Structure 1
Amino acid sequence: MGAYAGRGVHGRIVELLGRRVASGELPEGAVLDLRALGAELGVSMSVLRESVRVLAAKGLLDSRQKRGTFVRPRAQWHLLDADVVRWRASGDDTARLMADLAELRALVEPAAARYAARRRTGTQLAELEDALDRMARTRGDPRAHALADLEFHRRLLAASGNELLARMDLLVAPGLVERDVLVHSADPAADPVPAHRAVLDALRSRDADAAEAAMRALLAASDADVRRLTAPGPAPSDRKDRT
């Protein structure tokens, strides 16, 4: 069910309504009939109201006198919220989400790699190596692998020496985890380590040009993999390096 699966009935309703909104099953402006919804789902009004409050905090729903509870315009959704990202990734919005993520990462991570090659410390290099080792050990577990991959990229952003770049992980992290789970669930045998190793080797030698180029190559391969998976029709099985 997702992040709310272990939170009882309330969590189940948050997940269900969140997915319905993010998928467009409940479109912008749609008014929710809470009594009918409660009857459909077999839950009390108090559970529904609490679930609505959670989704309102994420920008998906709103409640007003005389208008009732309704779906807010997409422009008001908290698109960087980890749950909103996950709900979008599980529905028909996957391709758009992943394309937006790829563009964002292409703007941020090659520059971060360039700075990191010049500024990284020995400790940061060791942390990146550790994250890469965990990626290699978790190849058969898409979720664990995704978290190790995320740690590598977080460490790289931190190694840039730029505090604002380092906090860009807040923008990248939710989508990156879902991207990794999508790709590595489709092809668990894929080996992402060589592409990451090329970045790490460039950081170790303090070669800024090579670090930027390696990151661009890694991101290009990542984007190509996702495009193949989210394109209409069967996905080809020739994927190799992913991030």
Structure 2
Amino acid sequence: MEQGKDRSLVSKVMDGLVTGIVEEKYGAILPPQDVLSKEFDVSRTVMREALSMLLARHMLDVRPKVGTRIRSMRDWRMIDEDVVNWRFRAKPDPVFMRDVIEFRMLIEPRAAAQAAARASVSEVAGIREAFDVFKTIAPGEPGYEAADELLHTRIVHASGNQFFQQMAAIIRGALTTVNPMVNQKPGAWEISVRTHARMVEAIERRDPKEAEAAALALIDFTADEIGREFSIEMPGRK
């Protein structure tokens, strides 16, 4: 019981440290461990464990005579789902949003195509089920984000590609970040529903090319809106 309590406390401290980091509370260098221990009202053992977890995720760097340096978010180990969630907490910047769109363009269209080719009958049914829920919930209503994330996650998992599957957390984080910006546009939800329907129907028909094209169309629409939001040039189809 005590060991479980310590793990929970370490997780809580990690979460608090990350909040301070993404909100730029600490600057470039974290305070000494004893100072942080007092701030979070935990033992040095708990604080040391929390810091070691962040070190393992390439978020911190310990240097002699310097202390614990906060590493650039570019260095964070994004394959780790916790790190993904923490990274998406930070205020998005133009370069980060460009990288998010480029990542989605690389992964999601291929995942949709492979889902059309490889998904089992039950996986296709699960994708249809997720879409049928998604299309009934408008942006801003309870459950919208969860429904959108579930649909995209099921498509990625149905691709059968274990590396794509490991990237599902990044896609979920991307959706959470971009949707509030994109959904501000009049008619955006209707376009989104139509394009998602096109992708799902292509997967059901076992049409990889059409599934890929629909996924690209969906991301292209998002890229256009994000590009306008940040006044930057977004990647597009060649």
Distance 1:127 1:207 in 2: 17
SS of the residue corresponding to residue 135 of structure 2 reads helix
Q: Give the structure-1-normalised TM-score.
A: 0.70
| 2:176 aligned with 1:177 | no
Runs of 5+ in structure 2 lacking a partner? 1-6, 232-238
The residue identity in structure 2 corresponding to 1:216 is L
CA RMSD of aligned residues (A): 3.4
Point out the more displaced range, 215-224 or 96-105: 96-105
Within 5 Å, give how 1:216-227 maps onto structure 2.
216-227=216-227
CA contact (8 A) 2:139 2:189 kept: no
What whole-Å deviation, never above 9, does each CA across 1:109-130 have from its counterpart, x for those lacking one?
Answer: 2223333334444323211101
Alpha-carbon shift at residue 175 of structure 1 (Å) = 2.8
CA contact (8 A) 1:127 1:155 kept: yes
CA contact (8 A) 1:183 1:225 kept: no
C-alpha change, 1:84 and 1:97, in structure 2 (3 Å) is: farther
CA contact (8 A) 1:150 1:177 kept: yes
Within 5 Å, give how 1:200-239 maps onto structure 2.
200-229=200-229, 231=230
Sequence identity percentage: 26
Q: Give the structure-2-normalised TM-score.
A: 0.71
What whole-Å deviation, never above 9, does each CA across 1:136-173 have from its counterpart, x for those lacking one?
Answer: 3444567843333233233323444xx4x2441322x2
Distance 2:93 2:87 in 1: 6
Alpha-carbon shift at residue 78 of structure 1 (Å) = 1.2
C-alpha change, 1:167 and 1:149, in structure 2 (3 Å) is: farther
Distance 1:153 1:44 in 2: 39
The corresponding residue for 2:234 is none
Distance 1:102 1:111 in 2: 14
Runs of 5+ in structure 1 lacking a partner? 1-6, 233-243
Distance 2:142 2:60 in 1: 29
What whole-Å deviation, never above 9, does each CA across 1:180-202 have from its counterpart, x for those lacking one?
Answer: 22344454883532211011122
Alpha-carbon shift at residue 216 of structure 1 (Å) = 0.8
What count of residue pairs does the alignment treat as equivalent?
219
Distance 1:131 1:108 in 2: 20
Alpha-carbon shift at residue 45 of structure 1 (Å) = 4.4
Match of 1:168 among 161, 164, 168: 164
Distance 1:204 1:222 in 2: 24
Distance 1:204 1:42 in 2: 52
Distance 1:169 1:106 in 2: 15
Within 5 Å, give how 1:118-129 maps onto structure 2.
118-129=117-128
